[in-house]
Amino acid sequence: MKDVNKMTKRQLEKAAWMGKFEALVCRLDKKHTGKIEWDSATYFYNQGRSEQAAAQEYINNRSAA
């Protein structure tokens, strides 16, 4: 991981969003602990979704599969 002191504001915001997303996903369904598909998380982030909405959709999509 990059040195936090050298990260841009956007990178820090993204890192915080990803951390919250991961925590919510793992709280909703523990089977995803350590198994987050980060490309999907990045897609939700880039779409401007809230961490909560993205986590719920992530869980719903994986439960249907």
Supply the pLDDT for residue 64: 67
What is the chain's pLDDT, residue by residue, as a tens digit (65 residues)? 567 678 899 999 999 999 999 999 999 999 999 999 999 999 999 999 999 999 999 999 988 65
Q: Which of 48, 59, 60, 64 is nearest to 22 (CA)?
A: 59
Using a 10 angstrom Cβ sphere, with 0-12 exposed, 13-18 middle and 19 or more buried, the burial of residue 47 is exposed
What pLDDT was estimated at residue 6?
A: 80
Taking alpha carbons only, the member of 55, 28, 50, 27 closest to residue 40 is 55
pLDDT at 7: 83
